[in-house]
Amino acid sequence: MRASPLHRLPGRAPSPRRSPRRPLGARALPALAATLAMLAIAGARADAAFDLVYAQASGADAIHDGGLTAAVRQAPIFDEPRWPARRQVAKLSGAELAALSDAQIVRRLRLAFARPERNGMVSVDEILPAQWSAEGAEGLSRAMTMLGPDAGRVIFYASASLVAQVGRHDLRLELAERNRALVAAMSRGRVFIEGYRSDMSPLPPHDMATYLSRWWERVPAEARHRLHVLIGPGDQRAIWDSVRSTPAGRAILRNGVGAYRQDTPEAGRAWVAAYRAFLADPEASPPGGDAHVPVGGGLSMAVDEGQELRGGDTLRIAIARPGSANLRVQALPNGPERVFAKLRPAPVGDDVPVRLPDDLRPGRYRLTVYLSGDGLVDRVTRTVLVVPDRAAPPQGPIALRRQLIVNQRISQTAVRRLNAVQEWLDAGITTDDLAPAIGGEQFGTSVMLGSRPPAPVAPASPRPITPSPPPPGGSAVVRVTPAQLLINQRISQAAVRRANALEERLREGLTGGDIQEGAVTKEKLHPGLRVVGTIPTERPPASSTVIAPPEGKGLPVRLTRAQLVINQRISQAAVRRANGLIARLEEGVSAELIRPRSLTSANLAPSLR
What SS3 state is found at 558? Answer: coil
Task: Please classify residue 176 by burial: count the beta carbons closer than 10 Å to its beta carbon, then call 0-12 exposed, 13-18 middle and 19+ buried.
Answer: middle
Which among 335, 360, 386 is the end of a domain? 386
Q: Say if residue 179 is in the same domain as residue 207.
A: yes
Query: Of 271, 225, 247, which Cα lies nearest the Cα of 6?
Result: 271
Whether the pLDDT of residue 583 is over 90: the answer is no
The three-state (H, E, C) secondary structure of 182-225, written as one string: HHHHHCCCEEEEECECCCCCECCHHHHHHHHHHHHHHCCHHHHH
Q: If you average pLDDT over residues 355-375, what whole number do you get?
A: 88
Determine the pLDDT at residue 347.
Answer: 86
Q: Say if residue 501 is in the same domain as residue 590.
A: yes
Which among 226, 251, 280 is the end of a domain? 280
Q: If you average pLDDT over residues 572-586, what whole number do you get?
A: 86
| Residue 13 within a domain | no
What SS3 state is found at 523? Answer: helix
| 55-59, 77-81, 353-357, range with the lowest pLDDT | 77-81
Q: Say if residue 370 is in the same domain as residue 303.
A: yes
| Residue 271 within a domain | yes
Percent of the chain beyond pLDDT 70?
85
Q: Say if residue 359 is in the same domain as residue 210.
A: no
Q: Write the pLDDT tens digit of every residue in 428-443.
A: 999 999 988 898 889 9
CATH code for the domain of 318: 2.70.50.70
Q: Say if residue 443 is in the same domain as residue 539.
A: yes
Q: If you average pLDDT over residues 337-366, what whole number do you get?
A: 86
Determine the pLDDT at residue 470.
Answer: 80
pLDDT band at 398 (very low <50, low <70, confident <90, very high): very low
Instruction: Give yes or no for a contact between 25 and 17, defined as CB atoms under 8 angstroms apart.
Output: no
Q: Write the pLDDT tens digit of every residue in 98-117.
A: 999 999 999 999 999 887 66
Q: Say if residue 464 is in the same domain as residue 523.
A: yes
Whole-angstrom distance, CA of residue 272 vs CA of residue 61:
11
| 17-31, 363-377, 387-401, 594-608, range with the lowest pLDDT | 17-31
Q: Write the pLDDT tens digit of every residue in 286-304.
A: 998 999 898 888 899 999 8
Q: Say if residue 322 is in the same domain as residue 449.
A: no
Q: If you average pLDDT over residues 81-108, what whole number do you get?
A: 93
Whole-angstrom distance, CA of residue 467 vs CA of residue 96:
57
Whether the pLDDT of residue 391 is over 50: the answer is no
Query: Of 184, 177, 181, 178, which Cα lies nearest the Cα of 222?
Result: 184
For residue 161, give its domain range: 38-280
- State how many domains the chain has: 3
Instruction: Give yes or no for a contact between 347 and 313, defined as CB atoms under 8 angstroms apart.
Output: no
Determine the pLDDT at residue 361.
Answer: 85
Determine the pLDDT at residue 600.
Answer: 94
Whether the pLDDT of residue 33 is over 60: the answer is no
Stronger pLDDT, 395 or 539, i.e. the higher one = 539
Which among 228, 250, 280 is the end of a domain? 280
| Residue 360 within a domain | yes
| Residue 5 within a domain | no
Q: Across-strand partners of 314?
A: 355
What SS3 state is found at 499? Answer: helix
pLDDT band at 264 (very low <50, low <70, confident <90, very high): very high
Q: Say if residue 334 is in the same domain as residue 469.
A: no
Whether the pLDDT of residue 70 is over 60: the answer is yes
Q: Write the pLDDT tens digit of every residue in 37-62.
A: 344 334 444 456 999 999 999 999 99
Q: Say if residue 54 is in the same domain as residue 139.
A: yes
Whether the pLDDT of residue 342 is over 50: the answer is yes
Q: Write the pLDDT tens digit of every residue in 206-234.
A: 999 999 999 999 999 999 999 999 999 99
Q: Say if residue 158 is in the same domain as residue 222.
A: yes
Query: In the chain, how many H helices and how many E strands?
Result: 14, 18
Q: Say if residue 96 is in the same domain as residue 181.
A: yes
Determine the pLDDT at residue 345.
Answer: 85
Task: Please classify residue 283 by burial: count the beta carbons closer than 10 Å to its beta carbon, then call 0-12 exposed, 13-18 middle and 19+ buried.
Answer: exposed
Residue 318, number of CB atoms within 10 A of its CB: 15
Determine the pLDDT at residue 390.
Answer: 52
Determine the pLDDT at residue 553.
Answer: 58
What distances in angstroms separate CA 317 from CA 92, 368, 379, one per listed residue? 54, 11, 12
Torsion angle in degrees (nearest 10) through CA of 566, 571, 574, 579:
-130
Determine the pLDDT at residue 399.
Answer: 57
Whole-angstrom distance, CA of residue 609 vs CA of residue 601:
7
Instruction: Give yes or no for a contact between 50 and 1, defined as CB atoms under 8 angstroms apart.
Output: yes
Whether the pLDDT of residue 32 is over 60: the answer is no
Q: Write the pLDDT tens digit of every residue in 267-282.
A: 999 999 999 999 999 9
Whether the pLDDT of residue 89 is over 60: the answer is yes
Query: Of 174, 261, 249, 150, which Cα lies nearest the Cα of 207?
Result: 249
| Residue 288 within a domain | no
What distances in angstroms separate CA 563 from CA 404, 494, 554, one per listed residue? 10, 17, 14
CATH code for the domain of 180: 3.20.20
| Residue 375 within a domain | yes
Determine the pLDDT at residue 172.
Answer: 87
Determine the pLDDT at residue 557.
Answer: 62
Whole-angstrom distance, CA of residue 2 vs CA of residue 348:
51
Whole-angstrom distance, CA of residue 174 vs CA of residue 67:
42
Q: HSE of 6 in the Cβ direction (CA atoms, 13 Å)? A: 29
Please tell me the pTM assigned to this model. 0.58
pLDDT band at 519 (very low <50, low <70, confident <90, very high): very high
C-alpha of 530 from chain center: 14
- Kindly list the strands in the beta sheet with 337-343, ordered across the sheet, starting from the edge strand earlier in the chain: 308-309, 376-386, 363-373, 324-331, 337-343
Q: Say if residue 412 is in the same domain as residue 382.
A: no
| Residue 531 within a domain | yes
pLDDT band at 561 (very low <50, low <70, confident <90, very high): low
Percent of the chain beyond pLDDT 90?
54
Whether the pLDDT of residue 24 is over 80: the answer is no
| Residue 20 within a domain | no
Mean pLDDT value across the chain: 84
Instruction: Give yes or no for a contact between 118 and 154, defined as CB atoms under 8 angstroms apart.
Output: no
Quickly list H helices, 380-445: 400-426
Query: Of 224, 198, 203, which Cα lies nearest the Cα of 126?
Result: 198
